[in-house]
């Protein structure tokens, strides 16, 4: 009889097995919260413990280090800031790989480099476990509401085992292929968004300069061929002067830099990505790195 891929297929995906979650920032807090709400025992770790207090108050257990978590959990999710943070969490002296149990599944949901994802998968396999790279899209709203798009690379059986847990965090869950494939897919996502954000801000600046009411303009263009998630959710924030981060400028620069490096190794020229990356770097240089990606509009108001 064939396994039902909607059901757990390994001990790591058993609903009674403790789940580890590393990274409880803008995205991770909501994602880990869905696991708790579903009744799963959850261990949490983050460098700044205060960011995990709300989860601990709801019943999550604190792990002192990633290695401590690996000793308790055979399924661990991570979503941290930068590739250097991923390196430390996985390969550090107190990292996951140093202490993982056999049959553990490690799932990195950080947007990171495909090459690093492949290294993690190889190291996990050498230690008797498996790894998935599963970056997400949908911002803080998607994390809170459990509607993220999750792009997964790695071992197919591990994906089938973890899919019930992905379904608690996201709605569009797609297996892309072997190790690194999830990260390559996320690069496609970020390359698309890069040019979209430039176009969005240019359109709003043009609407204002031409004497149109930008909100009325959005009524016309947001449901036409120009429609996008960004136009629907971020353009109104720009018009309201709301630049709070659903996704940080500094993290978007990191993502675009990874995409640009990968494209170069693939021999691809991506001018739209390069223009967006240059503009966002200018934005960060002016002190807006901790604002949301919609803050790009500042450049059009200040130039």
The predicted pLDDT at position 139 comes to 87
Does 186 qualify as catalytic in the annotation? yes
Tens-digit pLDDT profile for residues 78-123: 999 999 999 999 999 999 999 999 999 999 999 999 999 999 999 9
Res. 9: pLDDT tops 60: no
Tens-digit pLDDT profile for residues 115-161: 999 999 999 999 999 999 999 999 889 999 999 999 999 999 999 99
DSSP assignment string, 3-72: --TTS--SGGG-TTS-EEEE--STTHHHHHHHHHHTT--EEEE-SSGGGGHHHHHTTPEE-SSHHHHHHH
The predicted pLDDT at position 223 comes to 92
Res. 238: pLDDT tops 70: yes
Q: How high does pLDDT run on average in the chain?
A: 93
Q: What pTM, to 2 d.p., does this model score?
A: 0.90
What is the mean pLDDT of the segment spanning 198-212?
97
CATH code 3.40.50.720 for 11-179: yes
The predicted pLDDT at position 14 comes to 59
Q: Regarding the domain delimited by 185-302, which CATH topology (the fold level of the hierarchy) does it fall under? A: 1.10.1040
Helix, coil or strand: residue 241? coil
User: Which pair of structure tokens corresponds to residue 168?
Assistant: 């608690």
List the domain boundaries for the chain: 11-179, 185-302
The predicted pLDDT at position 208 comes to 96
What is the mean pLDDT of the segment spanning 231-241?
96
Please report which confidence band the pLDDT of residue 26 belongs to, taking 50, 70 and 90 as the band edges: confident
The predicted pLDDT at position 17 comes to 78
The predicted pLDDT at position 173 comes to 98
Asked, colleague to colleague, whether 11-179 and 185-302 share their fold, the answer is no
Give me the catalytic one of 51, 141, 186, 237. Answer: 186
Q: Which runs of consecutive H residues, i.e. helices, occur in the chain?
A: 28-37, 53-57, 66-72, 83-91, 96-99, 114-126, 139-145, 156-169, 181-209, 214-221, 229-233, 235-239, 249-265, 271-285, 297-302
The predicted pLDDT at position 302 comes to 73
């Amino acid at each position: 009889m064939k396994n039902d891929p909607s059901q757990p297929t390994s001990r790591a995906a058993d609903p009674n097995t403790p789940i580890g979650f590393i990274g409880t920032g803008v995205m991770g807090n909501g994602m880990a919260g869905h696991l708790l709400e579903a009744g799963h025992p959850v261990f949490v770790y983050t460098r700044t413990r205060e960011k995990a207090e709300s989860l601990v108050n709801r019943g999550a257990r604190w792990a002192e280090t990633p290695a401590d978590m690996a000793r308790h959990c055979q399924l661990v999710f991570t979503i941290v800031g930068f590739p250097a943070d991923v390196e430390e969490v996985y390969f550090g002296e107190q990292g996951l790989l140093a202490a993982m149990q056999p049959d553990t599944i490690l799932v990195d949901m950080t947007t990171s480099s495909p090459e690093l994802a492949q290294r993690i998968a190889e190291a996990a396999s050498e230690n008797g476990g498996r790894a998935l790279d599963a970056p997400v899209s949908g911002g803080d709203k998607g994390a809170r509401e459990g509607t993220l798009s999750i792009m997964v690379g790695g071992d197919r059986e591990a994906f089938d085992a973890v899919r019930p847990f992905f379904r608690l965090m996201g709605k569009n869950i797609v297996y892309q292929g072997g190790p690194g494939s999830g990260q390559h897919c996320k690069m496609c996502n970020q390359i698309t968004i890069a040019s979209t954000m430039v176009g969005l801000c240019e359109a709003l600046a043009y609407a204002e300069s031409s004497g149109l009411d930008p909100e009325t303009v959005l009524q016309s263009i947001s449901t036409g061929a120009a429609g996008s998630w960004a136009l629907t959710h971020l353009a109104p924030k720009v018009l309201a002067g709301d630049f709070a981060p659903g996704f940080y400028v500094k993290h978007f620069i990191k993502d675009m830099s990874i995409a640009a490096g990968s494209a170069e190794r693939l021999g691809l020229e991506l001018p739209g990505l390069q223009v967006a990356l240059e503009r966002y770097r200018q934005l960060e240089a002016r002190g807006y790195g901790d604002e949301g990606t919609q803050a790009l509009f500042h450049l059009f108001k200040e130039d």
